[in-house]
Structure 1
Amino acid sequence: MSSCVETATPSRQARPGPVPWIAIYHSVGDSSDDPYRITVTRDRLERQLRWLCRRGLRGVSVAELLAARARGEGRNLVGLTFDDGYADFVTDALPALARWGCTATLFVLPGRLGGDNAWDALGPRKPLLTADGIRRAAEAGVEIGSHGLTHADLTQADDAVLKDETAGSRALLEELTGAPVTGFCYPYGTVDRRAVDAVRAAGYGYACAIDPGELSGPHVLPRVHIGQNDHAVRLFLKYRLHRLRRRPVAGLR
């Protein structure tokens, strides 16, 4: 079994650091019919995790990454996130993560338990995790976060829907897992100030976006898309360019 283990040295004086590197994954499985580029094969995921490990990096949940950053540690940690809560996370992603000593954050949709990705107009229907599947992931050490209730675009939601998608989804997930839910992920990556305020008011400690534009802070963390075509050279460029292109995140060490 392969593994990647971090040895952190506490810093005496924490200083503002670069933007954290957080990767976006979705589904792990057959990528032959993939118009939205949301799928990587298990073999490709294994190769990408091996690439991280060989460079002294370890994939962890966003909560663990941010906690390490708050202590002035974790410069060799990267965040791994899986959006939508596909059923193949448990069958394909989880074994690969375990093999390489990694963890992750799984953003799920409690309003679509056991359903499918009906919001994707093109491409194949992919089954989503049931409540039991989500609990199984949590028991394996995966952080469970909310991706909203039903995958609604929060920038187009009225006040009632916005509350259901943020506060409502958090309450359902905490009941399902029996543990606090502190992370949120904006469906479609779309975000505006109103959505950020709703997520913060719902009690989340952080939230992930994709490219938040002028918005900054722990509730609009930028991320990097990782896909089937991301081999070693592309991963290296994405890792380096993310820190060059993104300004430090306000409110993070």
Structure 2
Amino acid sequence: MPSPVKSPAAGPVPWIAMYHSVGDCSDDPYHVTVSPGRLERQLRWLGRRGLRGVSVAELLAARDRGEGRDLVGLTFDDGYADFLVHALPLLARWKCTATLFVLPGRLGGDNAWDPLGPRRPLLTADGIRRAAAEGVEIGSHGLTHVDLTRADDARLKAETVESRAALEELTGTAVNGFCYPYGTVDRRVMAAVREAGYAYACAVDPGELSGRHVLPRVHIGQRDTGVRLALKHRLHRWRRRPVEGLR
């Protein structure tokens, strides 16, 4: 009798950090902004522990080879314009890369989905192309930043399929990563993202869902000093279930 096909082994879930804006934190009711100085100290903390921040695509590729235990995924949601001004130079200084999840339906707009706090400008098409040219992985955050678990089928398809097509046309490269707006995801939304052709997707806390299309992430904010980072890094592997196919 032929041997039964074995499922891919499950490995420890990779540590993926979730950032948003990098700039002035004085008016930040959602706690989504880190100052450039704090980001540099956080990158320094990684470097001193033999860790390096990379894009999610690079992280997953390394893990597929059985490597990359010294790598940390760095993600920046929403595509704020301050990424080019503040984050990109620091990433280059510390020899890090990152994944930038952007909204092609809001190019050059602002964070209109946030009812509180200041309006923060988003990257234009040229800004996204500049980030990609500097080695930043560009991923989709949907078209317009809506809760996909509340979207009808037509809206869900537009936010996943059309956003990917728009970004691939804009950058001239494949877009393989998706990030769920607000971190909200259910089985229907996860299936739609997979069917849209994405190789992986990032959530926040996916609950009972598991796999490459609901990778959990850790929120990193202005208050995250070295002590807090160490605690978050340690607790992440204890709290998260292994991901199938990662070594």
Tell me which interval the TM-score lies in, with the shorter structure as reference length.
over 0.9
Find out whether 1:133 has 2:138 as its counterpart: no
Runs of 4+ residues over 6 Å off in structure 1:
none
Q: 2:83 aligns with which of 89, 94, 99?
A: 89
Show the 5 A alignment for 1:240-251.
240-251=234-245
1:16, distance to aligned residue in structure 2 (A) = 3.7
The question of whether the paired residues in 2 share the 8 Å contact of 1:146 and 1:181 is answered with yes
Contact 1:196 1:220 in 2 (8 A): yes
Does residue 234 (structure 1) correspond to residue 228 (structure 2)? The answer is yes
Measured in 2, the distance between the counterparts of 1:114 and 1:84 equals 12
Shift of 1:252: 2.5
The one-letter code of the counterpart of 2:167 is L
Counterpart CA distance in 2 for 1:100 and 1:244 is 28
* Preserved contact between residue 15 and residue 72 of structure 1 (Cα < 8 Å): no
Write out aligned runs for 1:1-253 (5 A).
Answer: 16-253=10-247
C-alpha offsets along residues 97-133 of structure 1, whole Å, 9 cap, x if unaligned?
0000000000000000000000001000000000000
Letter in 2 for 1:79: G
Partner-residue secondary structure (3-state), 1:219: helix
Secondary structure of the residue aligned to 1:79 is strand
Deviation at 1:137, TM superposition (A): 0.2
State the Cα RMSD in Å: 0.9
Distance (whole Å) between structure 1 residues aligned to residue 81 and residue 218 of structure 2 = 22
Shift of 1:193: 0.4
> CA deviation digits over 1:37-87, x for unaligned, max 9?
000000000000000000000000000000000000000000000000000
TM-score between the two structures when normalised by the length of structure 2: 0.96
Q: Residue type of the partner of 2:138?
A: I
- Quote the Cα distance in structure 2 between the aligned partners of 1:98 and 1:202: 32
1:7 maps to what in 2?
none
Amino acid at match of 1:247: R
In the aligned structure 2, how far is the partner of 1:169 from the partner of 1:235? 33
Opposite residue 80 of structure 1, the aligned amino acid is L
Partner amino acid, structure 2, of 1:236: A
- The residue identity in structure 1 corresponding to 2:60 is L
Q: 1: distance between equivalents of 2:152 and 2:146? A: 11
Checking the alignment, whether the CA contact within 8 Å between 2:9 and 2:244 is kept in structure 1 is: no
Does the 8 Å contact 2:10/2:242 carry over to 1?
yes
SS at match of 1:80: strand
SS at match of 1:81: strand
Tell me the equivalent position of 1:4. none
- Matched residue pairs, number? 240
Distance in 1 of aligned mates of 2:170 and 2:151: 25
Which structure 1 segments of 5+ residues have no match? 1-13
